[in-house]
Structure formats: structure tokens, C-alpha cells
């Protein structure tokens, strides 16, 4: 039995009974009209809830402009808050803890998602390269458009939107929120020099490029308290056109600054899995994010990306991480913590069913004990 993974852990005010975390996973199955969670989503999350287990619910745009995929749930309308409340209530009924990931995709969008058909916004007018394609509102693929650079005086309203989204999440009953600062989305676009060529206080040197991340985090803290806030980063990631030539100085500064804010946890994605869902990626000869930044980060550290049971147990037992978030195997194994604890075999995932659709590949994966009885 993996002892470290199944020892208790305090995250903020919550005492977890185990350290197997469900990672935030975009599944594109929200109600098409309202972009609110629906009964199918309630069932999906309830299947994966465990007593004292942490679920980080899927990335949810804080504004309509922050959307870049069809049928993703938001957290900016009353209908969305009501839909999420049903999800949260179902997870709490099973004794689980659930945070919501707050999202704005920035340039990783398309005008078909934008109010009035406007261009997506970004720190700078730099398009994602031609080798990647945008998804349109009708699910087709198209070239990424040149985004519109945000004006300096527009940024405070964006920061405030994250704060309001956090308040909405707490109103829905979430135990906390996670700021999505990874995978090439808006916050990471501000962080990295290849996507941020601004000349105002949000661009240039590392301190300025980290300003948006820190202002957003502070706004979210003001909304729900530092002990109910996590931040997710991907220091060596190359998703959605991202990638910093020398990540250590940038992310060392960012993580040291986050240390001072007293947040509940830091969530780091391993570079070996930086595909942001587009494909299975397994980079060789790359550094471990949790190993590099564990000496810098003073609080609870969650690692994610390509972990299976034994490496997860080793990372926690060795002190490189305090918990491990699982994505793809939590999709195909609703009872993943029990399978890891007992050494039961894992059901393989079916990638073509990850995004969009109904029950198939979403709520129809079996529980091991039911399979064993059959």
C-alpha cells in the first residue's frame, strides 16, 4: 500500500485524508445555451468524489472574452453559479473538497467566441504560430487570429473579473479557487517574454511581467482569503505557443512573490506532459518542475503531469511534492484513489472522447469493484 499518498494533508483550512488530487480537466460538456454545468456534469464529479479527497474542477472562464473552446462552463453568470452549486453539493455529500480553477484564455481563442465577433485580447498583438490551430465556436479548426493588445487602463477590470469570479465560486459553495497561470493562457502570456512585449508597467523586466499574475492572485485573495487560493504554473511548458527561453529566473521570482501571499498551495505541471490536452506528450531529458522549485516554495506543493502510482508515491515520500494531481487516469478511473491504494489495475482512457459529447467516455467508465463482481 502506498503509505505517503494515503497519509493526511492540510491544505488551507481543510484536512485531506489522502493526497491523490483530481486535476482540472476541460471536458466541453456544459449546457450549450448558458455554459452552466448540467446534471451530467454533476454525475461526473460526484463519481470522482471521495471522503477527504480534493477535486480541482475544470477551468472556467471569468468573462465571456476568456472562452476559447465550445461548451466550457463559466463562472460569471447566475445560471453558471447555480449549476456549479449542484456540482459542489454532490461532491460535499460524499465528503469531498472541491476548488474551482479560474480561467481566461487570452489569445488562445477565436473571434467566434468573442462578444460582437471582436478579436481575442492578449498582452501584445502576437499571434500563436501557424503550426497550431484555434477551435471555433462551432467546433471547427481555423488559423489563430492576431489578438488585440490590451490597453493599460483595461487591465484593472480584468483583474477585478478574477476577484468577482472567486466571489461567485464561493457563492456556489466551492471550498476555494485555483488561479490558472499555466499552459499558455492569459496569465502565462503576461509572464513570458515571447508573448509579452509591452512597454508599460506590465511588460519588460521580470517584475513587470509578473505583475498581472500577482494582482490577480491578490484580487482573488481579497475575495475569499489566502488559505482558499491555489495557483497553477507550468514553468517549462510549451503549450499553446508558450515557452520561456530561460524559465528559472522568471519562475523563481514569481514563486518567491507568491510565497509572501500565504496561499493554500502551488500547483506545478511537469514539462514532460506539457501538451495542454492536445496530445500525449512525454519530453525526455527535461528538468522536474517540482524538484527544481520545491526548495523555493515554502507551502503545500502539488505536482501534476504524467504521474502513475509508483512515481507519485515516490515524489510524495521523497518530499518533492505534498500531493499529486492526476488527469487522464482520473477520467477513466472514477475510483482512482481506491485503485492506487489497493494496487488494482487501471482502466485505459479513450482520448477521442475527452472533449465534447455526452455520457460516452465521461460518466460510463466502470468502478473496479463493480467490474470484479461482473
Per-residue confidence in pLDDT tens, the chain, 374 aa: 679 999 999 999 999 999 999 999 999 999 999 999 999 999 999 999 999 999 999 999 999 999 999 999 999 999 999 999 999 999 999 999 999 999 999 999 999 999 999 999 999 999 998 788 999 999 999 999 999 999 999 999 999 999 999 999 999 999 999 999 999 999 999 999 999 999 999 999 999 999 999 999 999 999 999 999 999 999 998 889 999 989 999 999 999 999 999 999 999 999 865 444 344 444 456 678 999 999 999 999 999 998 998 999 999 999 999 999 999 999 999 999 999 999 999 999 999 999 999 999 999 999 998 776 65
Q: Which of 77, 97, 106 is nearest to 196 (CA)?
A: 106
Q: Is the dihedral of CA 24, 304, 128, 106 positive or negative?
A: positive
Residue 323 lies in a domain: yes
Residue 2 lies in a domain: no
* Cα dihedral 176→210→106→189 (10° resolution): -130
Residue 4 lies in a domain: no
Residue 3 lies in a domain: no
Eight-class DSSP state of 105: -
Q: How many domains, the chain? A: 1
Under DSSP, is residue 26 helix (H, G, I), strand (E, B) or coil? coil
Q: What angle do CA 106, 112, 113 make, to 5 degrees?
A: 50
Q: Is the dihedral of CA 335, 336, 338, 344 positive or negative?
A: positive
Residue 40 lies in a domain: yes
Q: State yes or no: is 368 an active-site residue.
A: no
Residue 167's Cβ-count burial label (10 Å; 0-12, 13-18, 19+) is middle
For the entire predicted model, the pTM comes to 0.95
Catalytic residue among 185, 236, 329, 368: 185
Residue 204 lies in a domain: yes
Give the structural domain span for 102. Answer: 9-373
Alpha carbons 233 and 374: distance in angstroms, whole number: 42
Domain containing residue 48: CATH number: 3.20.20.70
Q: How many CB atoms lie within 10 A of CB 154?
A: 11
Residue 128 lies in a domain: yes
Q: How many CB atoms lie within 10 A of CB 270?
A: 25
Amino acid at each position: 500500500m502506498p503509505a505517503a499518498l494515503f497519509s493526511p494533508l492540510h491544505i488551507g483550512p481543510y484536512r485531506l485524508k489522502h493526497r491523490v488530487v483530481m486535476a482540472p480537466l476541460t471536458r466541453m460538456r456544459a449546457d450549450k445555451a448558458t455554459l452552466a454545468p448540467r446534471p451530467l456534469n454533476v454525475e461526473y464529479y460526484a463519481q470522482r468524489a471521495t471522503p477527504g479527497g480534493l477535486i480541482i474542477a475544470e477551468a472556467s472562464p471569468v468573462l465571456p472574452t476568456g472562452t476559447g473552446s465550445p461548451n466550457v462552463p463559466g463562472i460569471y453568470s447566475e445560471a453558471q453559479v447555480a449549476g456549479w452549486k449542484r456540482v459542489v453539493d454532490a461532491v460535499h455529500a460524499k465528503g469531498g473538497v472541491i476548488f474551482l480553477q479560474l480561467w481566461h484564455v487570452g489569445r488562445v481563442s477565436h473571434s467566434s467566441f468573442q462578444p460582437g465577433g471582436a478579436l481575442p485580447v492578449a498582452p501584445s498583438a502576437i499571434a500563436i504560430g501557424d503550426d497550431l490551430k484555434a477551435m471555433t465556436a462551432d467546433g471547427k479548426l481555423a488559423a489563430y487570429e492576431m489578438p488585440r493588445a490590451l490597453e493599460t487602463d483595461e487591465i484593472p477590470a480584468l483583474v477585478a473579473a478574477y476577484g468577482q469570479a472567486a466571489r461567485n465560486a464561493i457563492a456556489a459553495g466551492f471550498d476555494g479557487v485555483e488561479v490558472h497561470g499555466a499552459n499558455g493562457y492569459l496569465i502565462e502570456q503576461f509572464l513570458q517574454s515571447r508573448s509579452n512585449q509591452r512597454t508599460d508597467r506590465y511588460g519588460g523586466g521580470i517584475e513587470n511581467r509578473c505583475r498581472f499574475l500577482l494582482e490577480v492572485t491578490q484580487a482573488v485573495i481579497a475575495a475569499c482569503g489566502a488559505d482558499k487560493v491555489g495557483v497553477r504554473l507550468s514553468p517549462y511548458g510549451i503549450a499553446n505557443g508558450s515557452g520561456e527561453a530561460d524559465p528559472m529566473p522568471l519562475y523563481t521570482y514569481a514563486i518567491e512573490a507568491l510565497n509572501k501571499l500565504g496561499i493554500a498551495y502551488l500547483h506545478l505541471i511537469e514539462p514532460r506532459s506539457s501538451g495542454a490536452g492536445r496530445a500525449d506528450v512525454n519530453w525526455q531529458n527535461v528538468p522536474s518542475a517540482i524538484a527544481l522549485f520545491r526548495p523555493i516554495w515554502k507551502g503545500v506543493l502539488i505536482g501534476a503531469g504524467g504521474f502513475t502510482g509508483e512515481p507519485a508515491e515516490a515524489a510524495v515520500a521523497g518530499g518533492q511534492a505534498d500531493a499529486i494531481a492526476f488527469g487522464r487516469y482520473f477520467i477513466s478511473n472514477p475510483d482512482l484513489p481506491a485503485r492506487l491504494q489497493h494496487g488494482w489495475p487501471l482502466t485505459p482512457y479513450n482520448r477521442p472522447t475527452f472533449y465534447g459529447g455526452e455520457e460516452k467516455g465521461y460518466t460510463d467508465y466502470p468502478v473496479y469493484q463493480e467490474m470484479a463482481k461482473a
